[in-house]
Structure 1
């Protein structure tokens, strides 16, 4: 990948899109992870207005520290970057307190994690709305089009997806090129919805390197018969998640009424 040229391409694309949409720039949720760090930096490089939003919900201190370090560094490099902190912990707690109790702990954990993501989406659109900004998504290609590792109408609810055609390894290459802090570059990927100790690999069951390898192999026509051992395990996992999460990747189904019934 021609990192410098890809970086310039994304920055130009972001600037052109905002100009045509007649908005002032972008709002980005900054979590302390590589994807949001790269996305917010690319947005900052457009010279348009960029608002970085912290949205802690019982957030682990490691994530908070990395997010704040990144925002501080970004503001020192770009005078078009602002930031705001919206503490959603009391909002989340009040919401949960008003929901009925459920016995299934696995369903509770998943639903509450998705609820956190959806509260953050609503918050980003609020800040975007009152400031005339578009919401820039932070999903990469493996998450968005491979295994569907995101929340529908949560972090999947965005106006533009500047890094969604980049594999995770390519996001890291861009991150190095645009000077993302080492603390973020070296941190284990985590969505931050279940604590810092629960990484993306723990949740998915495979590393991004493994998923990326299988995704590339499938794109090159490989099937289950071409794999064995751990590679076959990851192939089966990838295929299962890809099929299960098609409802996120495909357009919302519309029930079309036959003309003869109208």
Structure 2
């Protein structure tokens, strides 16, 4: 990958899109992870207004520290970057008191995790509407189009996706070029939606390098029967997620009414 040229291309694309949309810039939810760090850095490179928002909900201290380190560095380097912090923990806890928590614990936990992401989306759009900004998505290609590892109408609810055509390894390459803090570059990827130490790999069952490999194999038309051992296991994991999460990756189905019925 021609890293510097890719950076220039994304920055130019962001700037052109914002100009054509007649908005002032971008709002980005900053979590302390590599994807949000790279996305906010690319937005900052445009010279347009960038609002970085921290939105903790029982957040791990390490995530908070990394997010704050990144935001502080961005503000030092880019005069167009501002930040705010919205503690959504009380909102989330109030929500919990108003809904039924009956059912299998793992199902309840997943529903609540997705609720966290959707509360954050609502917060981002509130500030975007207030300040005339676009919500910049932070999903990469593996998450958005491979395994669908995001929350529908949560972190998947965005106006534009600057890094969604980049594999996770490519996001790291851009992060290095944009001088993302070392603490973020070395951190284990985690969506932080459960308030514990579980990583993305813990949840999915495969690492991002493994998922990138499986995505490439899918593009080449391979099937599960082409592999054995760990490769077969990884490919099966990838394809199971890919099939299960197609509803996230395709446009909302519309029931077309035949003309003779209208």
TM range (shorter): over 0.9
Separation in 2, partners of 1:107, 1:225 = 32
| TM-score, scaled to structure 2 | 0.99
Separation in 1, partners of 2:49, 2:239 = 40
Superposed counterparts of 1:103-252, under 5 Å: 103-252=103-252
Q: Residue 219 of structure 1: CA displacement?
A: 1.1
Separation in 1, partners of 2:196, 2:8 = 33
Tell whether 2:82 aligns with 1:82.
Answer: yes
Separation in 2, partners of 1:93, 1:224 = 43
Separation in 1, partners of 2:240, 2:104 = 23
Separation in 1, partners of 2:115, 2:195 = 15
| TM-score, scaled to structure 1 | 0.99
The farther-off stretch of 209-218 and 73-82 is 209-218
Separation in 2, partners of 1:49, 1:99 = 38
Change (3 A) 1:196 1:182: farther
Aligned to 2:59: 59
What's the CA shift string for 1:113-168, capped at 9, x where partnerless?
00000000000000100010000000000000000000000000000000000000
Tell whether 2:3 aligns with 1:10.
Answer: no
The farther-off stretch of 189-198 and 20-29 is 189-198
Q: Residue 228 of structure 1: CA displacement?
A: 1.0
Query: Secondary structure of the residue that 2:195 maps to in structure 1?
Result: coil
- Runs of 4+ with deviation above 3 angstroms: none
Separation in 2, partners of 1:213, 1:172 = 16
Q: Where in structure 2 are there 5+ consecutive unaligned residues?
A: none
Q: Residue 222 of structure 1: CA displacement?
A: 2.2
Separation in 2, partners of 1:77, 1:256 = 51
Aligned to 1:37: 37
What's the CA shift string for 1:202-224, capped at 9, x where partnerless?
01110001000110122123222
Q: Residue 189 of structure 1: CA displacement?
A: 0.1
Query: Secondary structure of the residue that 1:193 maps to in structure 2?
Result: coil
Q: How many residues align?
A: 262
Q: Residue 8 of structure 1: CA displacement?
A: 0.5
Q: Where in structure 1 are there 5+ consecutive unaligned residues?
A: none
Query: Secondary structure of the residue that 1:26 maps to in structure 2?
Result: strand
Query: Secondary structure of the residue that 2:43 maps to in structure 1?
Result: helix
Separation in 2, partners of 1:182, 1:3 = 18
Contact kept, 8 Å, 1:138 with 1:163, in 2: the verdict is yes
Contact kept, 8 Å, 1:138 with 1:161, in 2: the verdict is yes
The farther-off stretch of 143-152 and 196-205 is 196-205
